[in-house]
Structure 1
Amino acid sequence: MYILMVSQFLVMGAMTMIIPFLPLYLKEMGVTDPAQAQIWSGVIFGINFLSAFVMAPVWGSLADKVGRKIMVLRSGVGMAIVIFLTGLATSPVQLLLLRLLNGTVSGFIPASISLTATNTPKEKAGYALGMLQSGAVAGSILGPFIGGAMAEIVGFRMIFFLTSVIIGLATLVVLLMVKEEVKPDPSQKRGGFFAEGSFILHQRPLLFLFSVGFLLQFAMLAPMPQMPLFVDQLGAPGGYVAFFAGLVTAVTGLANMLSSPQLGKWGDRFGSERVLFFAMIGAAIFSIPHAWVQSVWQLLILRFLLGLCVGGLLPSLNALIRKNAPVGKESTAYGYSTSAVFLGNMLGPVTGGFLSGIIGIRGLFLLTGAMLLIGAWWLKGSQSRVSSPKRSPVSQKVSSAR
């Protein structure tokens, strides 16, 4: 668990560390027009998550067939190679294709989650998944900071080379030290990718959870692109808009990282359904007052309190997916869950940017709170209507034959 937690930190850091210097990297490649640089930056950064969204179910389904650890290793080796090649890119098109390939080969996070979930006792699953969440969040927080700092010291290209080496070493540690005790049953017959996917998507409990995952990420990320502008409107102390905009994001992630393991423990003790429900209610309660803040300090306090609640969202969701996933198809379920989360990651900021032009960012905070309340109601209603996970038709035939 600890090795995978550190590995998640490295992977998320690698995926986000190019954010601060991507426009400058493009300028080094010859893209000097600021408008074109912004367009290329958005497309290059987003294409990674688009390809990851498409491929996550594929890698999840394959993990249920050949094993979860091998999928972690496949992703680690693939990302190490692609990130190294990214440091050799000489044009925006090459960089775009390499980011597309990076998202295609990734799958590290759903594989790590499914490996941890299937090899952890059910009564400890919430805590273990909370620890993984802490590692991933820490990587997403520190990635841009480390990337920006290293760009000033070693240059843009060297960052990619160093990141490649670090991910390669992390993958080697996983190979040597992580044991997969619960492996796929080779005697279990399986259908093709589309048959497996159709079966998973016909599981009502999982469909509810996938929709909740999408809604969570959509609601939480919708205001993020507008946050620097909001900090500027509030009047950043000393005029340090960029610093306080980054701090606003960092305190949310810090609170998330601190609360995830504890809320995971509470999920193991009191039920992940309850923790997820109350975490969504808490996130809604702390999102709504954002609409009336008058200073950056008030915003920082609310973002920290919001982060404490956010720490219970994805770990509890992942624990519930493990609970409701058909036996032997956990990784497939996590693959589709990851796709739903990535879809929320992509559509949330785009939609939030569009809506902020109509209702303003303060109205966007109210909308976010309302969406979280709707999500909590949706979750509560779904728990009373779901049934136990079904077995696949293939598995049923095998059991009948026996």
Structure 2
Amino acid sequence: MMTMETWKKNLAVLWIAQFLVMGAMNQIMPFLPLMLTKELGLSADTNVHLWTGLIFGINFLPALIFSPIWGNLADKYGRKMMILRSGFGMALTNGLMGFVQTPTEMLMLRFLNGMISGFIPASIALVSTNTPREKTGFSLGVLQSGGVAGTILGPALGGLLADAIGYRAIFWVTGGALFLSTLLVLFFVKEENKPVPKEMKGEGWRKDLAHIVSTRPLPALFATGMLVQFSLIALMPILAHYTESLIHSTTRVAFFAGLVMAATGVANMIASPFLGRLGDRIGSQKVLYISLIFAGIIMFFHAWTKELWQLILVRFLFGLSVGGLMPAVNALIRASSPEGMVSRTYGYANSATFLGNMIGPIVGGLISGWWGMSSVFIFSALVLFLNALLVHSKVMPELEKKAPGNQTVEANMRV
């Protein structure tokens, strides 16, 4: 039986590591288009935005493919080992990005970075399997808040560093931050509940996948995670331009767009631990269902904002409502995973999430082009409501079958 001190120490160290990783990775995006033109030889008439989109998005394709592979290895050799593999690997690839001479070289390194990524999923798997069951939702909520904090501060820090030390040096700073966060895990995180592969070991990915998707309600939870990411990321192509339309000016657009995004992140960071703890008490499935409904309602209000302060307000409220979504999904995946296959299950769940990340911006951009920017908010709201219906019809009944008379599946299990 693990001590309380161990899981709390793991959570604190991984919170810091998540903060460093997400802050480092997100500080790259604000200056990437500028680096392409000023450092990598793209001319002004070249489609810089296309290259930016390709370089940013290419990361998700190999991550989608390789995530189940890393999950399989984590179930055999440990989640901490996968964190170290990913952390040291990404530190190297991001450091090398500071030396590239062409956009193609940058694209290739981003592809390689996506292939060896997995720091965040492995951290989630380690926390969920090395935390007392009754604290899983709270711990995953706290862990998410660290990543969100890094996501908020990363772009601002990247913009400041670009002016102070230059574009290339930021990649070296990013590599250094990834290396430091991995060292923290190496020396201070203790994986007491290590995987003990049983009869499932060595059966191959086809049998693993068949076993996982036949375990209800995992397929529905995978779809839920994908739709959550889809509905959130679909806004990314239009949010800055929508902000610009509200301030009726072309000056300081980046600042105000960052403020709009930060409002969501701050609210998410505040709400995640609270909603995670609430999920431990009343059931993560209930928190997930109610949060999806509230998120859908608030998303509708985005389409009717007329002033900047209104958009900031609804983005903050939206951040509060979505703070419990992915922690609840991850807690339910942990509770529903076949024995000895937790990391593999998270691997397939993350592939579904990466799929949502890939197609969300594409669909959002198409809808905006066809029917205007406000239509993207309405469409995303409908997706959130559809997701709530999926949880109510496919997830909650299955959990009630597994834990009759209980409020949550987690309540049936103890470490």
Which residue of structure 2 aligns with residue 60 of structure 1? Answer: 71
- How is 1:331-370 mapped onto 2 (pairs within 5 angstroms)? 331-370=343-382
- Kindly state the Cα deviation for residue 204 of structure 1 after the two structures are TM-superposed: 2.9
Q: Please give the TM-score of this superposition, normalised by the length of structure 2.
A: 0.90
Deviates further, 360-369 or 124-133: 360-369
- How is 1:1-400 mapped onto 2 (pairs within 5 angstroms)? 1-27=11-37, 28-190=39-201, 191-236=203-248, 239-382=251-394, 383-385=396-398, 388=402
- Cα distance 1:376–1:189, how it changes in 2: closer, same or farther (>3 A)? closer
- Cα distance 1:358–1:159, how it changes in 2: closer, same or farther (>3 A)? same
- Kindly state the Cα deviation for residue 187 of structure 1 after the two structures are TM-superposed: 4.9
- Cα distance 1:236–1:128, how it changes in 2: closer, same or farther (>3 A)? farther
The question of whether the paired residues in 1 share the 8 Å contact of 2:72 and 2:344 is answered with yes
Residue 20 of structure 1 aligns to a residue whose secondary structure is helix
Counterpart amino acid of residue 128 in structure 1:
S
- Kindly state the Cα deviation for residue 237 of structure 1 after the two structures are TM-superposed: 7.4
- Kindly state the Cα deviation for residue 203 of structure 1 after the two structures are TM-superposed: 2.1
Q: Using the alignment, how far apart are the partners of 1:193 and 1:175 within structure 2?
A: 29
Counterpart amino acid of residue 37 in structure 1:
V
Residue 204 of structure 1 aligns to a residue whose secondary structure is coil
Residue 31 of structure 1 aligns to a residue whose secondary structure is coil
Q: Using the alignment, how far apart are the partners of 1:169 and 1:234 within structure 2?
A: 41
Counterpart amino acid of residue 329 in structure 1:
M
- Cα distance 1:120–1:297, how it changes in 2: closer, same or farther (>3 A)? same
- Kindly state the Cα deviation for residue 74 of structure 1 after the two structures are TM-superposed: 0.6
The question of whether the paired residues in 2 share the 8 Å contact of 1:236 and 1:296 is answered with no
Counterpart amino acid of residue 339 in structure 2:
V
Counterpart amino acid of residue 368 in structure 1:
S
Deviates further, 165-174 or 247-256: 165-174
The question of whether the paired residues in 2 share the 8 Å contact of 1:47 and 1:100 is answered with yes
- Kindly state the Cα deviation for residue 156 of structure 1 after the two structures are TM-superposed: 1.2
- Kindly state the Cα deviation for residue 224 of structure 1 after the two structures are TM-superposed: 2.1
Q: Using the alignment, how far apart are the partners of 2:138 and 2:153 within structure 1?
A: 22
Residues 289-320 of structure 1: CA distance to partner in whole angstroms, max 9, x if unpaired? Answer: 11111111111101000000110100001000
Q: Using the alignment, how far apart are the partners of 1:330 and 1:388 within structure 2?
A: 18
Counterpart amino acid of residue 118 in structure 1:
T
Unaligned runs of 5+ in 2: 1-10, 404-415
Q: Please give the TM-score of this superposition, normalised by the length of structure 1.
A: 0.93
Q: Using the alignment, how far apart are the partners of 2:196 and 2:247 within structure 1?
A: 59
Unaligned runs of 5+ in 1: 390-402
Deviates further, 203-212 or 140-149: 140-149
